[in-house]
């Protein structure tokens, strides 16, 4: 079962459609039914997952994909996806109000955060001064208009592997613990590394994906893919069973479907 976290801040429909296309390509989808709103799964009269505005639980392709804020359902899922669009502090409050801000970091199956979902998995965000879940060892900053790039960062941009962490003598305090710290911007240095994360299996450096955001996760040891928009930033992160994409795989065409398919295959 694939669980999409429903906390009122998600690009649910587009994520659902992209997931179903990826499931089809994996030959895992059992049918082509559209969105189903049902009362079929109500243990002890309670809904399975979060109530829809009609008071009924919403289930997508019931055997495989469920939209839910139920911690028991999330714990039992094979994969969990945390989507999100909007403003970080508002999204973080919605997650906390659902009782999920402390719960999600305890999950042990593969978890994928998308856009705001990815940012909420960081330590903090400058957007609304949000204190986030702290899964990834980095913070979320606003793009600086002084860098000369348009804000928001909207459109297609390429992915590159992060530079190795700079070596330093034992006991020396680094200027930054981020990959690529002290190097020239990604846009001006040669790139020859592979996108080595299993999330990017079959995808070379320079692959284009679709972004829409004004805030970005800074580079850190958890960075698995870098993009550039006035500054190098974490386009994707991974730590243990947690993965995150600042870009929108569900809007990134065949490349995005490959990324989702790779995630579903973990």
Known catalytic membership, residue 248:
yes
Residues present in the chain in total:
266
Say whether the peptide bond before residue 74 is cis (omega within 30 degrees of 0).
no
- Which one of 64, 98, 115, 127 is the catalytic residue? 115
Rounded Cα distance between 237 and 235, Å, is 7
Rounded Cα distance between 169 and 93, Å, is 42
Residue 93: strand, helix, or coil: helix
| Whole-Å CA distances, 149 to 145, 159, 191, 213, 245 | 6, 18, 22, 12, 21
Q: Where are the alpha helices (DSSP H) in the chain?
A: 12-25, 71-76, 88-97, 116-120, 253-264
- Which one of 64, 127, 250, 257 is the catalytic residue? 250
Known catalytic membership, residue 115:
yes
| Whole-Å CA distances, 49 to 1, 54, 114 | 13, 13, 20
Rounded Cα distance between 191 and 164, Å, is 12
- Asked if 16 and 59 touch (Cβ cutoff 8 Å), the reply is no
Q: Where are the alpha helices (DSSP H) in 106-214?
A: 116-120
| Whole-Å CA distances, 13 to 67, 70, 83, 143, 247 | 11, 19, 10, 28, 16
Q: Which residues carry out catalysis?
A: 115, 248, 250
């Amino acid at each position: 079962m694939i669980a999409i976290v429903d906390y009122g801040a998600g690009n649910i429909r587009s994520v659902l459609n992209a997931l179903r296309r990826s499931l089809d390509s994996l030959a895992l989808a059992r049918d082509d039914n559209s969105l189903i709103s049902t009362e079929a799964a109500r243990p002890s009269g309670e809904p399975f997952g979060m109530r829809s505005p009609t008071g009924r639980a919403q289930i997508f392709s019931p055997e495989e994909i469920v939209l839910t804020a139920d911690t028991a359902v999330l714990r039992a899922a094979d994969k969990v996806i945390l989507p999100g669009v909007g403003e970080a502090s508002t999204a973080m409050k919605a997650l906390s109000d659902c009782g999920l801000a402390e719960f999600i970091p305890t999950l042990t199956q593969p978890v994928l955060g998308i856009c705001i979902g990815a940012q909420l998995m960081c330590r903090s965000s400058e957007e609304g001064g949000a204190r986030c879940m702290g899964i990834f060892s980095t913070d979320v900053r606003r793009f600086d208009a002084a860098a000369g790039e348009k804000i928001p960062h909207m459109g297609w941009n390429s992915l590159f592997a992060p530079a190795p962490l700079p070596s330093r003598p034992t006991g020396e305090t680094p200027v930054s613990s981020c990959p690529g710290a002290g190097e020239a911007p990604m846009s001006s240095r040669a790139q020859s590394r592979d996108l080595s994360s299993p999330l990017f299996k079959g995808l070379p450096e320079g692959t284009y994906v679709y972004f829409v955001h004004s805030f970005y996760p800074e580079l850190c040891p958890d960075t698995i893919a870098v993009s550039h928009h006035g500054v190098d930033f974490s386009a994707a992160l991974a730590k243990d069973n947690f993965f995150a994409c600042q870009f929108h795989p569900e809007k990134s065409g065949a490349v995005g479907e490959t990324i989702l398919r790779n995630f579903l295959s973990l």
